[in-house]
Amino acid sequence: MHKVTSEELFQRALNVAPGGVHSPVRSFKGLDRAPVFFKKAEGAYLTSVEDKKYIDFCQSFGPLILGHLDPEVKEEVHRMVDTAWTFGATEIYSLELAEWITSTLPFMEKLRFVSSGTEAVMSALRVARAATGRNKILKFEGCYHGHVDNLLVKAGSGLAGAAASSSAGIPAEVAAQTVVTPLDDEQKLQEVFHNFGKDIAAVIIEPLPANYGLLVQRQEFLKKVAELCEKNGSLLIFDEVISGFRVGLQGMVEKTGIRPDLVTYGKIIGGGFPVGCYGGKKELMNMVAPSGDVYQAGTLSANPIGMRAGLTTLKKMQRLDGWNVLEKRTQKFTDTIRAGFAKKGLPLEVSHSASLFWIHGPSKTPIRTIEQIPGNQGATFKGLFLKSLEKGVYLAPNAYEVGFVSMAHTDEILEQAAQAIIDAAE
């Protein structure tokens, strides 16, 4: 009997969805092959329709910090599926997750659940604009904040900080509401505040930028961002959709000691289900409807299955001291890869932070801005990705996406994956 292949499925998918996918990176664009179609995921592994097993470092781009189909989360999800799917009314499940978050993260005084990271960011910006009566948003080149119109922008020409849209379908007037400046550059930042400071409602930043490679920032730079916000009356928004509950229980707020006005979450907070969240200072969150006049709503917001998957995931991580465990495993894993690359004289390096890692070409200095990313990153990655795939390792299919280590990636699995990646690189 003929077994269906990924190639055939992709041909079908191309007929019904743009690029055959429902989120762009999934399409393997520029990688000269059809994307792998999967049919099953468990622990650290994915299984393709061809019945090939892969060690998965994409982990759905971050939400699955316990790995696929974690038994405890699975049990809780089953229980919830048998109890209720959605209420569109007040219920106890979002209350319990909200109470857990606000009592565990003191800077989250009040919060609102939504259904994606994009939605969380979009709503936080609305609050910031309402609170300050200003329109402009400052973002950093190389930070990603979802597909919010205002934030799909890149540096434009002209005045320092001016932005141009980076997607078709965004009016120039909308892009003009955003100011863009490079990461790691206090002087440019100061200049931008000098030019626009009185109009900047909020500065939004990924405190650990991990959507355009892994661009670990200097603490002094982040401090400067916070200081200039304070000085200019602009709100500081930490976009922790990827770093929140990934780098530690209290995320980058804990790591930097900086207290933002608002924080956005997504990914891990829903334990693999569509959940986002924004929150922070009480006086700001009280501006949100129905207690205030910033409108924001959602039919499926605070979906109980996501609430339960999220809470179970977070409590399990806390119980197992999971963040420490992952940090140690990832250190060992990346050290093994580094040693392997060095031993074979391969021009490759690995950056890592907590349980995130990113493979790239050699660089004399730490890579903190998109300009510092070695020029051949696309080509370097393509070869490594395709060979790794052959050897049963699934990296996120794009040169600028990071890898995620989950609790399901045991030392043994990581050792095996490291060898496969070293061999693939050769």
Ligand X SMILES: *Cc1c(COP(=O)(O)O)cnc(C)c1O
Catalytic residues: 144, 239, 267
Q: Which two tokens stand for residue 118?
A: 């994009």
Q: Give whichever of 242 and 317 is closer to ligand X, judged by the CB atom.
A: 242
Candidates 234-242, 245-253, 300-308, 392-400; binding stretch for ligand X (CB under 6 A): 234-242
Q: List binders of ligand X among 54-113 (CB under 6 A).
A: none
H or E element at residue 197: none
**Do the Cβ atoms of 163 and 141 come closer than 8 Å?**
no
60 vs 68: CA distance, rounded Å: 9
Residue 174 CB, nearest approach to ligand X (Å):
18
Kindly state the smallest distance separating residue 116's Cβ from ligand X, in Å: 4
Which of residues 13 and 124 has its CB atom nearest to ligand X in the complex?
124
- Residue 234 backbone dihedrals phi, psi, to 5 degrees: -100, 145
Kindly state the smallest distance separating residue 60's Cβ from ligand X, in Å.
Answer: 10
Closer CB to ligand X, 239 or 261, in the complex: 239
Q: Which of 327, 397, 361, 351 is nearest to 215 (CA)?
A: 351
Does 117 bind ligand X (CB under 6 A)? Our answer is: yes
Measured from the CB atom, the residue of 77 and 277 that comes closer to ligand X is: 277
Q: Quick one: which segment of 117-125, 167-175, 181-189, 215-223 binds ligand X (CB under 6 A)?
A: 117-125
Contact status, residue 155 vs residue 340, Cβ threshold 8 Å? no
Stretch 257-286 residues interacting with ligand X (CB under 6 A) = 266, 276
End-to-end alpha-carbon separation of the chain, Å?
37
Find the binder of ligand X among 239, 261, 349, 401 (CB under 6 A): 239
Q: Which of 144, 238, 400, 404 binds ligand X (CB under 6 A)?
A: 144
**Residue whose tokens read 């393997």:** 28
Give the number of residues in contact with ligand X, rule: CB under 6 A.
14
Closest-CB residue for ligand X? 117
Site string (307-346) toward ligand X, x via CB under 6 A = ----------------------------------------
Using rule CB under 6 A, residue 242 touches ligand X:
yes
Q: Measured between alpha carbons, how far is 250 from 270 in angstroms, rounded to an integer?
A: 16
**β-pair partners for 360:** 349
Contacts for 182 with CB less than 8 Å, ≥ 6 apart: 140, 141, 142, 155, 188, 369, 370, 371
CB of 156 to ligand X, least distance (A): 22
Q: Give the one residue of 41, 64, 101, 121 binding ligand X; rule: CB under 6 A.
A: 121
Residues in contact with ligand X, shown as a per-residue x/- string from 175 to 214 under the rule CB under 6 A: -------------------------------x----x---
Residue whose C-alpha is closest to residue 210's, from 61, 348, 338, 323:
61
Work out which of 142, 146, 213, 280 binds ligand X, going by CB under 6 A: 146
Question: Rounded CA gap, 29 and 25, in Å?
Answer: 7
> What is residue 236's three-state secondary structure?
strand
Using DSSP bridges, classify how beta strands 163-165 and 153-155 pair: parallel, antiparallel or unpaired: antiparallel
Instruction: Determine, following the binding rule CB under 6 A, whether residue 369 of this chain makes contact with ligand X.
Output: no
Q: Which of 394, 397, 386 is nearest to 424 (CA)?
A: 386
Phi then psi for 143, rounded to 5 degrees? -95, 140
Q: In what order do the strands lie in the sheet with 349-353?
A: 349-353, 356-360, 403-404
* 241 lies in the site for ligand X, by CB under 6 A: yes
Positions touching ligand X (CB under 6 A) are 116-118, 121, 144-146, 206, 211, 239, 241-242, 266, 276
